[in-house]
């Protein structure tokens, strides 16, 4: 199975999903706000290795950190939202502490000006809206990579443990695996051995 390490110098289209930052009273801890800079640095380190396009949503935490880094590096950004921009901001961005609302507004304005914000048109009441968005992110990255002659790579930003059948990040991994995509994991919690957040490659097979 092709991975980025198998094909040095390849240009990459990244499909990314991951944890939102934790609420102040979250238990268990999955992505504490204090680790945002460390995670951002790990994402930047990987994006500097040939990433040319990022496809993701725009929730607080993993998505907006990755979109910010991509903007700094001049990487094309394509944002997939399940429903209208204002509604997504209310439900998935500003309900956590931090300046995520300001980041969201700035990034959405930038990306929208290039015609790269896609609204999937799901109903807010649709229980599968976010699963549909995950699938759309993966499929869009694969389509883009094929059209542009690049390699599609999935990136998951999380604590390394699924919450079970309702875990949307784990669902993203499953969909990427089904499509045969190589998967890079960026951890949102400090590694006891490395002393910082870590990255590792996951098998693209079940």
- Say yes or no to pLDDT of 164 above 50: yes
**Residue % of the chain over a pLDDT of 70:** 88
**Burial of residue 29, with CB atoms counted within 10 A of its CB: 0-12 exposed, 13-18 middle, 19 or more buried:** exposed
What average pLDDT does this structure show over 46-74? 97
Q: Which residue(s) pair with 186 in the sheet?
A: 157, 199
Could you give the CA distance from residue 203 to residue 72 in angstroms, rounded to a whole number?
Answer: 30
How many other C-beta atoms are found inside a 10 Å radius of the C-beta of residue 149?
A: 8
- Say yes or no to pLDDT of 61 above 60: yes
Could you give the CA distance from residue 143 to residue 145 in angstroms, rounded to a whole number?
Answer: 5
> Residue 75's domain is classified under what CATH number?
3.40.50.450
- Tell me which of 193 and 191 has the higher pLDDT: 191
| Lookup: tokens for 152 | 């599609």
pLDDT given for residue 3 in this prediction: 33
pLDDT given for residue 2 in this prediction: 28
pLDDT given for residue 26 in this prediction: 87
Considering its fold, how many domains does the chain have in total?
1
pLDDT given for residue 176 in this prediction: 96
Q: Which domain, by its residues, includes 101?
A: 4-202
- Say yes or no to pLDDT of 150 above 70: yes
| Lookup: tokens for 141 | 């990255």
Return the H-helix or E-strand segment holding 73: helix 62-73
Could you give the CA distance from residue 142 to residue 58 in angstroms, rounded to a whole number?
Answer: 19
What is the edge-to-edge ordering of all strands in the sheet holding 51-56?
Answer: 117-119, 76-81, 51-56, 12-18, 151-158, 183-187, 199-202
| Lookup: tokens for 70 | 């991509």
| First-last CA distance in the chain | 12
- 135-148 residue pLDDT tens: 999 999 999 999 99
What average pLDDT does this structure show over 175-189? 95
CB 63 within 8 A of CB 57: yes
| Confidence label for 17 from pLDDT (cuts 50, 70 and 90) | very high
| Confidence label for 42 from pLDDT (cuts 50, 70 and 90) | very high
pLDDT given for residue 191 in this prediction: 66
Q: What are residue 21's phi and psi, to 5 degrees?
A: -65, 150
120's torsion region: left (phi>0), alpha (psi -120 to 50) or beta?
A: alpha
Q: Which of these, 161, 142, 143, 163, lies nearest to 153 by C-alpha position?
A: 142
């Amino acid at each position: 199975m092709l991975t980025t390490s198998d094909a040095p110098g390849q240009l990459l289209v990244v499909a990314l999903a991951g944890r939102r930052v934790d609420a102040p009273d979250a238990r268990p801890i999955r992505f504490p706000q204090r680790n945002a800079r460390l995670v951002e640095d790990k994402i930047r380190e990987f994006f500097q290795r040939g990433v040319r396009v990022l496809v993701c949503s725009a929730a607080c935490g993993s998505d907006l950190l990755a979109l910010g880094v991509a903007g700094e590096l001049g990487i094309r950004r394509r944002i997939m939202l399940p429903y209208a921009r204002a509604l997504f901001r209310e439900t998935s961005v500003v309900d956590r502490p931090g300046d995520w609302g300001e980041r969201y507004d700035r990034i959405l304005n930038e990306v929208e000006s290039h015609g790269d914000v896609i609204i999937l048109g799901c109903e807010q009441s649709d229980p599968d809206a976010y699963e549909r968005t995950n699938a759309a992110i993966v499929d869009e990255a694969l389509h883009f990579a094929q059209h542009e002659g690049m390699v599609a790579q999935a990136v998951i930003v999380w604590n390394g443990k699924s919450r079970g059948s309702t875990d949307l990040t784990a669902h993203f991994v499953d969909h990427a695996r089904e499509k045969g995509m190589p998967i890079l994991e960026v951890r949102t919690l400090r590694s006891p051995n490395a002393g910082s957040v870590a990255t590792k490659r996951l098998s693209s097979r079940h």
